[in-house]
């Protein structure tokens, strides 16, 4: 196998907050760019390619991402692109751009003011517009249908879900960017049966930026986490078509990304406790894998940057030497419809 060609060399994020920043995201992004570039010891003029992820429906207006370009300082002009997805997929686009030899360095960013609208209602617009969305099934109810199916099938238990919440909140105690910390009440009332408040990610405003570089550039940077594989897949959306207790797209992405057996850490983008359990099974993660030392999306879920932040958190584990191999995972769409897996390692193989 050839040595990995691309590495993560810098990462920064804004604190996850219930309500913060402008709808445009510009003022939030400026310091995040500065920190990520400082982390990578790169000047913004040395960035060959910029790529972002965001959503017009989060802001409630068309072309909302256009304004965010102002935060870059994009004159003289830059090479730039945007996905209407979590920025983890912008990360993938940038990774491919470097692999193709079209860039040596890239800065990837995601942003969104989830609190601007009623998020769980806005997300109903991701559902089939003919037969599902007109009923306005909110994102928490949709996740609850999946959780119920998993409980009925015996692949998760309410106790295991509560343990995920408790562990995540305990880990978040050391994470200055987390929004939610501290103990849970296992008997808290249901938000959408069988999901209690602690089973659901909070609504978070935030942003994240990650810097990538190809081989030689990466080797000259102070710290790096080599990307040994990235892959993503999508399942059909139909909630009554697929087996909601399984996540084939995550399994296939992990296989294609070469998720190793000796993984040290996994940062999983699971906005609901039962989804972490489903993902652990889909990715084949055993008990020795440390899951979400950051506290994960359950303790801060800034839409459209939370997936990228999982990759960033995994990369930080490797760059800091706390882990030899780590995986970052991102999800998009209702009930874990689309999944991306990125495997990172300390060695250039």
14-53 residues in contact with another protein (CB under 8 A) are: 21-24, 26-27, 30, 33, 44, 50
Given 35, 46, 70, 158, the residue binding another protein (CB under 8 A) = 70
Query: Based on C-alpha coordinates, what's the Rg of the chain?
Result: 19
Q: Work out how close the CB of 57 gets to another protein at its nearest, in angstroms, rounded to a whole number.
A: 4
Tell me: does residue 226 bind another protein (CB under 8 A).
no
Q: Is 267 helix (H, G, I), strand (E, B) or coil?
A: strand
Tell me: does residue 241 bind another protein (CB under 8 A).
yes
Pick the closer one to another protein by CB: 148 or 290. 148
Pick the closer one to another protein by CB: 142 or 254. 142
Q: Work out how close the CB of 186 gets to another protein at its nearest, in angstroms, rounded to a whole number.
A: 19
Beta carbons of 173 and 181 less than 8 angstroms apart: yes
Q: Are strands 290-291 and 265-267 parallel, antiparallel or unpaired?
A: parallel
Beta carbons of 242 and 34 less than 8 angstroms apart: no
Under rule CB under 8 A, which residues in 183-212 are in contact with another protein?
Answer: 190, 192-195
The torsion angle over the Cα atoms of residues 195, 196, 200 and 205, rounded to 10 degrees, is 140
Q: Is 54 helix (H, G, I), strand (E, B) or coil?
A: coil
Tell me: does residue 348 bind another protein (CB under 8 A).
no
Angle at alpha carbon of residue 315, lines to 162 and 50, rounded to 5°: 115
Under rule CB under 8 A, which residues in 264-293 are in contact with another protein?
Answer: none
Under rule CB under 8 A, which residues in 81-110 are in contact with another protein?
Answer: 81-85, 89, 92-93, 96-97, 99-102
Given 16, 32, 88, 116, the residue binding another protein (CB under 8 A) = 116
Pick the closer one to another protein by CB: 123 or 270. 123
Tell me: does residue 65 bind another protein (CB under 8 A).
yes
Tell me the number of residues near another protein by CB under 8 A. 105
Which string of DSSP letters, residue by residue, matches 81-142?
EEESS-HHHHHHHHHHHHHTTS-SEEEEEEEEEGGGS-HHHHGGGGS-TTTTGGG---HHHH
Under rule CB under 8 A, which residues in 123-182 are in contact with another protein?
Answer: 123-138, 141-142, 144-149, 152
């Amino acid at each position: 196998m050839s040595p990995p060609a691309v590495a993560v060399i810098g990462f920064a994020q804004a604190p996850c907050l219930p309500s913060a920043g402008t709808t445009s995201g510009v003022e939030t992004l400026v310091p995040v760019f500065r920190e990520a570039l400082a982390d990578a010891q790169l000047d913004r003029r040395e960035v060959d390619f910029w790529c972002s992820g965001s959503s017009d429906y989060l802001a409630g207006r068309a072309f909302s991402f256009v304004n965010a370009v102002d935060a870059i300082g994009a004159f003289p002009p830059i090479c730039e692109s945007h996905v209407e997805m979590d920025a983890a997929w912008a990360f993938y686009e940038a990774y491919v751009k470097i692999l193709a030899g079209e860039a040596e360095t890239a800065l990837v960013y995601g942003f969104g003011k989830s609190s601007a609208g009623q998020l769980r209602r806005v997300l109903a617009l991701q559902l089939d517009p003919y037969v599902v969305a007109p009923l306005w099934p909110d994102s928490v109810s949709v996740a609850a249908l999946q959780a119920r199916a998993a409980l009925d099938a015996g692949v998760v238990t309410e106790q295991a879900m509560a343990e995920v919440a408790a562990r995540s909140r305990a880990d978040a105690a050391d994470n200055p960017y987390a929004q939610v910390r501290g103990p849970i009440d296992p008997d808290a009332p249901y938000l959408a049966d069988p999901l209690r408040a602690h089973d659901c990610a909070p609504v978070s405003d935030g942003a994240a930026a990650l810097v990538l570089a190809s081989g030689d550039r990466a080797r000259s940077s102070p710290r790096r986490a080599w990307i040994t594989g990235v892959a993503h897949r999508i399942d059909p959306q139909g909630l009554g078509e697929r087996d909601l207790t399984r996540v084939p797209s995550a399994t296939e992405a992990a296989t294609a990304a070469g998720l190793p057996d000796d993984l040290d850490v996994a940062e999983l983008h699971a906005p609901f406790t039962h989804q972490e359990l489903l993902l652990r099974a889909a990715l084949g993660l055993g008990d020795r894998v440390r899951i979400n030392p950051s506290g994960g999306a359950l303790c801060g879920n800034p839409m459209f940057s939370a997936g990228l932040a999982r990759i960033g958190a995994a990369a930080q584990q490797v760059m800091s030497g706390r882990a030899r191999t780590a995986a970052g995972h991102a999800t998009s769409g209702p009930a874990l419809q689309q999944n991306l897996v990125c495997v990172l390692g300390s060695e250039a193989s």
